[in-house]
Structure formats: structure tokens, C-alpha cells
């Protein structure tokens, strides 16, 4: 099978090189996709890089003024940038327990549930994943409303003062993290449960025969076998987690109170479309892209290293 | 995916005792999952209940509405063109789903069937698009839409979604697993490559295509960022932007907001109730490789 797969194209390649003909057909097939990516991703990426050296307010009549690296140096002096970077880290670190650890714990304690029950739970915990972020934001805003939200009414019933879930600078970021996590927790649990159910039962049986305790089985057999899936979820959370928070920040707090829920994605939006400082937004975009690239490369390297565990 | 445990094998008297013990051993699992299910479902339930309360009972806290009314829906429908927005969203989501799948099939086939110079490099460039956050390219994209004169149009919401790396890569992966002999045989018969793709490859990828269609449709339906950037007038907006219109800085009209949210979610929720297993499987496929 494998040899047949490789042999056929190899023969073709040789023939093509010998005749020196350029085969245009595959490029025709790729054209619509590549054109889309060039027009909407790669050219804009280059343009963002270009714009990061200019000062401009996005008005078509206003001139672009070349300012060199001034946007970058200004950006680095801006407390708002550092605050947003710090917050981005808080978002990611805050999401990891909800999107990875909690689902891992649930996947492990529920792995012997009868299939019927598991399917029922599965159907329910998956619902947040298909709910639109805007709807999630609206509903949580209602639940958490300081005056009439059911959660605050409940807290008041218990004798507490109403909590400004979205208006208290110390709490707001955790509220956003919680809502983002709420959307993800079911999905992560299902991914981990599936990976956990895929572990060869004979490996667990063998460990049990050797006298391993329940905890030792989890630590020495299940966790290593789940490491690839865990790393995948960690990667997903780190690379996309802060990005997913965008909708909630924009709808619920607009980065406030006092910038406490800003993150790097949100200030890009804020610079670009609230203060119309294209150069700053572009410089921040380039910075974000570089940071993002480094993180992604590191994580891919890690995944590559740890994916050798196999059933 | 799931392996059911061999429980039914034990003899009956022994089995009863075993099941009881099992149930006790499973108690923490049941507790954890029941709690999680409540946390996941309650907000959705509360949205429905609030939307159905009469306008003067919005702030009631009874767990179910004492008297149901469609006041909030009527109000919401009069306040913004919800039907138009739902129609726009349906059109955008359907068109994006079809186009993204066709473009994805073509591109995946191009990568899998031919070996050509730079094919690895081009594939890597496709994969890397996944690493470019939307916010990084939003200003140039916005300017491009303005230059094309498409600001505040439904078309502008479709164009950037013509291709997705995720779709191409998943289809290419499935095509690589496709038996080469079938492709070769079809070619021997003199079938043109497009015919082979359409008549031989595509029908055999029905499962993955259905999964992708579900994923693309739901994620386009729920999309927020792109419409936020490009929509201006209510009648050209998508439903997600419409929901936002009930949340203003002066105050929020909770009843109509919940009614609009329910209307925006209902199509997807109904779809989920009907095709629950398939929807979950589709999302899981994106996570497991």
C-alpha cells in the first residue's frame, strides 16, 4: 500500500522533469483557495507591517506620514500596552484550569459511567459550545446584573452585598474568563473523555495486576497516554483563548473598568477603530503576530516531542 | 469513540451486587457531571424563561414563567428587522458553507493528487494562515472592503470566508487515506481530473464533508468579529449584531434582549436537538487527530 502510494507519483515526477513541462493543473485547483489567502491574509499581513511605520487616521483624504519606528517606541512606553499584555497572560493562565484541568478531572472520574448516562451528560455539557458568543455574553450579562440578575439576587438572599461582576476592576477579568471557560469546558471534557476511553483497557488491567493503586494508574498510565491530547488543549487555550475573549470584552466591558479587562486583541481594536490611530494598531498587530508566532512554534515543538506516547 | 465497559457479562446474583457497588463508585462522577450540566444548561434555560415572561414580570425569579407571553418577541420584532437579519445570517452561513467546501475540495485534491514543485511550501503557507489572528489583519481588510465599495453589504461578509485552512487540511487528510487504486483506475478510464474529484472522490468523503458543513455553518452563524467590523445598517446586519442593539449604555431591555437571543439561537439549537450525535462528532473531529 505504502509503496504503491509513493511509487506512482515518483514516476510521474520523473517523467515531468524529463519532459521539462510545468504542470499547470494542480495550480488551477489551488487557485481559489490561494487567492483568498493572499487577498485576505498574506497581503493584509504585509500591509499591516507597512502601516506600522506610518501615522494615519484612516480617513482616505488624510496623508500617510512616515514616522519610522516611532509607533513601536511609543507603544512600548504606553502603560496600557503592558497592562494588556499582563492581562492576556492572566486570561490564558486563568483559562487553563477551566479548559484543561477541570475537564481532565471530570474525564477521569467519569470514565466508568454507563454509556447511557454518559450520552445524556454529553448532550447537555456540549450546549455552550454551539451557543453564539454574543448570546452567551447577553445571557451572562443578565444573570450577573447587579440589580436584577438571578445570581446577585441569590447572593443577596444569602446576606451578601451585590457583586459588581462586570464593574469591579478586581473581579471583571475573572468574570470574562469564567464566561469564556463556560463555552469551552464541555468541549474539552468530551475531547478528553474520548481520548481516555480510547486507552487500551489491557494496559490498565496490566497495571492493576501489578498492584498499582487507582491513583498510580492515573498518574503512570492514563496521564502519559493523555499527554498528547492535553498538550493539544493547552495549545488551543493558549493560542486561541485570549482571542475568544474578544467578543465578551467588547460586549460586556469594552476593556474596562479602568482597563482591567483589556487584552492585546482588544487594544488592537481599540487603537484602530475607537481612536483611529492606524499606526499604533498596526504596530501592536505586528508585535502580537511575532509573540503569537513564537508561542506557536514553541508549542508545536513541545507537541512534536510528546506525541510519541502511543497505545 | 467510546468503549462501553463489559458489565453485562457477570452472572445475575453477583451482577446485582456489582451494579450497586458500581453505582456507588460512580457517585462522584454523577455529582460532577450533574453540576456541570446545570452550569452549562441553566443560562440557556434562563434565557428562554426570561424571554417568555410578560413584559411586567421580567424581574420575576420563579424558575418557570407563571404566565407565558410573546410580548418580548413582538417588541423585539418591532424594534429591529429581526427576520431580515435572520435571513441575512442564513444566506451568509449557507453560501459560506457551500463555497468553503467546494474551494476546500478543489484545493485538497490539488495537493493530494499531484506532486508538484513547492507543493510542501504552499501547503505550509495554507496551514500557517491559522496562525494569523483576525485582529492583526483587520485594518487592511477593512480598508480593502472600503476600496471595493462593499462596506455594509452582505457580500463583504462572505468574501473573506471563501477558503479556510482547517477545511482544506481536514479534507486533504481524508483524501490521503483514500485508496490510490480507485483514483488510478478512474484515470485509466480516461476520466478527466474534475470528473474523478466529483464522481469518485467526493461521494466517498460524504461523512467528513457533512461534518465540515455542520462546523462551518454553526461557526459562521455565530460569528461576531467580522460583522462587527463591516456592518452598518440594521437591515444589512447579521443577527449577532442585532442582539447587541438591545444592550446600550443607557440600559438594557432584558426581555427583548432574551427574545432576540432566543431567536438567534433557536435554529442552531433545534438543529442540535435533531442531529445531536453528528454535531458533537463534527466538533470532536476538529479536536482529535
| Residue in this structure with the C-alpha cell 479534507, named with its chain if needed | B171
User: Is the Cα torsion angle A221, A222, A228, A231 positive or negative in sign?
Assistant: negative
Residue of A nearest to B214 (CA): A130
Question: Which of B41, B69, B97 is the C-terminal boundary of a domain?
Answer: B69
Q: What is B165-227 written as a DSSP string? A: HHHHHHHHHHHHTS-HHHHHHHHHTT--HHHIIIIIIHHHTHHHHHHHHHHHHHHHHH--HHH
Please check whether residues B169 and B235 belong to one and the same domain: yes
Who among A37, A232, A296 is closest to B131 (CB)? A296
Instruction: Determine, for residues A182 and B43 on separate chains, whether the beta-carbon distance falls below 8 Å.
Output: yes
Asked whether the predicted pLDDT for residue A42 surpasses 90, the reply is yes
Q: For residue A120, give the nearest of B276, B228, B62 by alpha carbon.
A: B276
pLDDT in the model for residue A204:
83
Do B147 and B269 share a domain, yes or no? yes
Residues B121 and B180 in one domain: yes
Higher pLDDT, A12 or A137: A137
Same domain, B111 and B169: yes
* Residue range B269-278, pLDDT digits in tens: 998 988 888 8
Chain A nearest CA to B24, separation (Å): 11
| pLDDT higher than 80, residue A311 | no
Categorize the per-residue pLDDT at B182 as very low, low, confident or very high, splitting at 50, 70 and 90.
Answer: confident
B93 lies in the same domain as B208: yes
Would the CB atoms of B107 and A33 count as touching at under 8 Å? Answer: yes
**d(CA B37, nearest CA chain A) in Å:** 5
pLDDT in tens, A234-274: 888 888 777 889 999 998 988 878 888 888 889 888 888 88
Residue A300 lies in a domain: yes
State whether residue A143 sits within 8 Å of chain B by CB.
yes
Structural domain includes residue A164:
yes
* B25 and B96 inside one domain: no
- Inter-chain residue contact B258 with A123, CB threshold 8 Å: no
B172 and B111 in contact (C-beta within 8 Å)? Answer: yes
A53 touching B (Cβ < 8 Å): no
Nearest CB among A37, A122, A132 relative to B280 is that of A122
Mark whether B103 and B205 lie in a shared domain.
yes
Which run of H or of E encompasses A271? none
| Mean pLDDT rounded to a whole number for chain B | 83
Q: What is the CATH classification number for the domain harbouring A187?
A: 1.10.3720.10
Q: Are residues B110 and B222 in the same domain?
A: yes
**Domain assignment of residue A261, yes or no:** yes
Q: Is residue B131 part of a domain?
A: yes
Average pLDDT of A306-311? 57
Whether A25 is in a domain gets the answer: no
Size of interface A-B (CB pairs under 8 A): 292
Nearest beta carbon to residue A130 from set B4, B7, B268: B268
Among B27, B43, B156, B158, pick the best mutation site for testing chain A contact (most A Cβ within 10 A).
B43
User: Is there a contact between B33 and A125 if contact means CB atoms under 8 Å apart?
Assistant: yes
Beta bridge mates, B251: B248
Tens-place pLDDT, residues B111-155:
988 888 888 999 999 988 888 888 889 999 999 999 999 988 999
Q: Note whether B226 and B256 are same-domain residues.
A: yes
Of all residues in chain B, the percent with pLDDT exceeding 90 is 35
Task: Mark which residues 256-295 of A lie under 8 Å from B by CB.
Answer: 265, 268-269, 272-273, 278, 281-282, 285-286, 288-289, 292-293
Count of the separate structural domains present in chain A: 1
Share of chain B above pLDDT 70, in %: 87
For residue A286, the chain B residues in CB contact (below 8 A) are 136
pLDDT at res. B10: 38
The pLDDT of A147-160, averaged and rounded, is: 84
In a shared domain, residues B256 and B196: yes
Question: A18 falls in which pLDDT band (50, 70, 90)?
Answer: very low
Q: Are residues B183 and B278 in the same domain?
A: yes
- Asked whether residue A11 carries a pLDDT value surpassing 50, the answer given is no
Assess if residue A61 is contained within a domain.
yes
Residues B177, B222: one domain?
A: yes
Per the structure, the complete domain to which residue A246 belongs is given by 36-306
CA distances from B98 to A132, B92, B216, B277 (A): 21, 10, 9, 22
**Enclosing domain of residue B201:** 81-285
Model confidence pLDDT, tens digit, residues A78-115: 888 899 999 999 999 999 999 999 999 888 888 778 87
* A20/A108: higher pLDDT: A108
> Which range among A197-211, B91-105, B119-133, B164-178 has the greatest average pLDDT?
B91-105
User: Out of A5, A41, A115, whose CB is closest to B129?
Assistant: A41
* Chain A residues close to B146, C-beta within 8 Å: 60
CATH of the domain at B247: 1.10.3720.10
Model pLDDT, residue B246: 87
The number of distinct structural domains making up chain B is 2
**A14 found inside a domain:** no
pLDDT band at A32 (very low <50, low <70, confident <90, very high): very high
Amino acid at each position: 500500500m505504502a509503496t504503491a502510494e509513493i511509487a506512482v507519483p515518483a514516476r510521474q515526477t520523473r517523467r515531468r522533469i524529463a519532459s521539462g513541462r510545468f504542470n499547470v493543473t494542480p495550480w488551477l485547483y489551488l487557485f481559489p483557495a490561494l487567492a483568498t489567502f493572499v487577498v485576505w491574509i498574506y497581503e493584509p499581513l504585509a500591509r499591516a507591517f507597512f502601516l506600522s511605520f506610518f501615522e494615519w487616521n484612516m480617513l482616505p483624504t488624510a496623508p500617510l506620514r512616515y514616522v519610522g519606528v516611532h509607533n513601536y517606541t511609543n507603544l512600548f512606553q504606553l502603560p496600557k500596552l503592558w497592562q494588556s499584555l499582563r492581562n492576556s497572560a492572566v486570561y490564558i493562565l486563568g483559562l487553563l484550569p477551566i479548559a484543561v484541568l477541570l475537564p481532565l478531572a471530570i474525564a477521569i472520574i467519569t470514565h466508568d459511567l454507563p454509556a447511557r448516562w454518559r450520552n445524556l451528560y454529553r448532550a447537555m455539557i456540549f450546549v455552550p459550545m454551539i451557543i453564539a458568543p454574543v448570546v452567551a455574553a447577553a445571557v451572562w450579562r443578565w444573570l450577573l446584573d447587579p440589580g436584577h440578575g438571578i445570581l446577585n439576587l441569590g447572593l443577596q438572599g444569602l446576606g451578601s452585598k451585590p457583586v459588581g461582576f462586570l464593574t469591579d476592576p478586581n473581579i471583571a477579568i475573572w468574570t470574562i474568563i469564567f464566561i469564556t471557560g463556560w463555552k469551552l469546558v464541555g468541549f474539552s471534557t468530551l475531547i478528553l473523555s474520548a481520548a481516555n476511553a480510547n486507552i487500551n483497557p489491557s494496559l490498565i488491567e496490566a497495571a492493576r495486576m501489578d498492584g498499582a493503586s487507582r491513583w498510580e494508574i492515573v498518574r503512570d498510565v492514563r496521564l502519559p497516554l493523555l499527554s498528547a491530547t492535553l498538550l493539544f488543549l493547552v495549545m488551543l487555550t493558549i493560542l486561541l483563548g485570549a482571542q475568544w475573549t474578544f467578543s465578551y470584552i467588547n460586549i460586556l466591558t469594552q476593556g474596562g473598568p479602568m482597563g482591567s479587562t483589556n487584552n492585546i486583541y482588544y487594544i488592537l481594536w481599540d487603537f484602530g477603530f475607537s481612536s483611529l490611530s492606524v499606526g499604533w494598531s498596526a504596530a501592536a498587530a505586528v508585535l502580537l503576530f511575532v509573540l503569537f508566532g513564537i508561542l506557536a512554534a514553541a508549542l508545536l515543538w513541545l507537541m512534536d516531542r510528546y506525541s510519541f506516547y502511543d497505545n | 469513540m467510546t468503549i462501553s465497559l463489559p458489565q453485562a457479562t457477570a452472572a445475575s446474583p453477583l451482577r446485582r451486587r456489582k451494579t450497586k457497588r458500581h453505582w456507588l463508585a460512580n457517585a462522584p462522577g454523577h455529582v460532577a457531571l450533574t453540576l456541570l450540566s446545570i452550569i452549562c444548561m441553566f443560562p440557556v434555560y434562563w434565557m428562554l424563561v426570561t424571554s417568555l415572561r410578560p413584559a411586567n414580570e421580567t424581574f420575576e425569579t420563579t424558575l418557570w414563567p407563571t404566565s407565558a407571553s410573546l410580548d418580548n418577541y413582538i417588541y423585539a420584532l418591532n424594534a429591529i428587522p429581526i427576520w431580515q437579519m435572520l435571513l441575512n445570517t442564513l444566506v451568509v452561513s449557507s453560501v459560506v458553507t457551500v463555497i468553503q467546501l467546494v474551494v476546500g475540495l478543489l484545493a485538497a485534491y490539488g495537493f493530494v493528487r499531484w506532486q508538484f514543485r513547492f507543493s510542501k511550501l504552499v501547503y505550509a503557507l495554507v496551514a500557517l494562515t491559522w496562525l494569523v489572528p483576525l485582529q492583526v489583519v483587520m485594518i487592511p481588510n477593512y480598508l480593502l472592503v472600503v476600496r471595493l465599495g462593499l462596506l455594509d453589504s452582505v457580500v463583504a461578509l462572505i468574501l473573506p470566508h471563501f477558503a479556510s485552512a482547517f477545511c482544506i487540511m481536514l479534507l486533504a487528510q481524508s483524501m490521503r487515506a483514500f485508496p490510490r487504486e480507485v483514483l488510478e483506475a478512474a484515470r485509466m478510464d480516461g476520466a478527466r481530473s474534475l470528473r474523478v474529484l466529483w464522481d469518485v472522490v467526493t461521494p466517498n468523503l460524504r461523512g467528513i464533508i457533512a461534518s465540515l458543513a455542520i462546523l462551518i455553518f454553526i461557526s459562521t452563524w455565530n460569528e461576531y468579529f467580522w460583522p462587527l467590523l463591516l456592518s452598518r445598517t440594521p437591515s444589512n446586519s447579521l443577527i449577532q449584531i442585532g442582539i447587541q442593539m438591545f444592550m446600550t449604555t443607557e440600559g438594557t431591555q432584558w426581555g427583548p434582549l432574551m427574545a432576540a437571543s432566543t431567536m438567534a439561537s433557536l435554529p442552531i439549537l433545534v438543529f442540535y436537538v435533531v442531529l445531536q450525535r453528528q454535531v458533537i462528532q463534527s466538533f470532536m473531529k476538529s479536536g482529535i487527530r
